[in-house]
Amino acid sequence: MAEVLLFHHAQGLTSGVREFAEELRRAGHTVHVPDLYEGRVFESLDEGGGYAQETGFETIIERGRSFAAWLPGELVYAGFSLGVLPAQQLAQTRAGAKGALLFHSCVPVTEFGESWPESVPVQVHGMEGDPFFAGEGDVEAARALVESTPGAELFLYEGKDHLFADGSLPSYDEPAARLMMERVLGFLARI
């Protein structure tokens, strides 16, 4: 079974993110879910994004790195949207990384190094019509990652919602979220 460090999205550590982690635990995995917002949860993506911008993205990444420092290096790093920043940074730079799961976001690998480590398997999941994922360059970064990294996978889902896998939000898309969970569990079973 895998040990996963899962980072929440811009709205904070919602009940939907907690339930996602719990589903992974029910499958036998160990899952750590730090609160990068120090207890704050926001009603909208705009409010949460505003808080993240005000706090500073580097501060949020540093909070993720600080939490990871207390854990073994042999982790699968996972993140929802904003949480992809610390997850991707750790997967690319921390020794012993076992894998990465990037949900609703992907940044160019050059943000955190020259290339993706070939020994670290990765999956990227996003909706093809999501204005953030498809409209702000994330899907292009994901495609470049897949083209340059053996075994990297990109899964695109029908629809336009950003946080489609968080069951506590109006953007939740149950069929897409179920399919994503099946793929994630398959990925973790291979780690």
pTM equals 0.96
CA 89 to chain centre: 11
Residue ranges of domains in the chain, CATH in brackets: 3-190 (3.40.50.1820)
At a CB cut-off of 8 Å and minimum separation 6, what does 134 contact? Answer: 126, 127, 128
Pairwise CA distance, residues 71 & 175, whole Å: 33
Tens of pLDDT, residues 47-78: 999 999 999 999 999 999 999 999 999 999 99
Query: Packing angle between helix 45-55 and helix 57-68, nearest 10 degrees?
Result: 80
Q: Which band of pLDDT confidence, cut at 50, 70 and 90, is reported for residue 151?
A: confident
Give me the percent of the chain exceeding a pLDDT of 90.
96
The string of pLDDT tens digits covering residues 100-134 is 999 999 999 999 988 999 999 999 999 999 999 99
Q: Any idea which of 16-20, 29-33, 150-154 has the lowest mean pLDDT?
A: 150-154
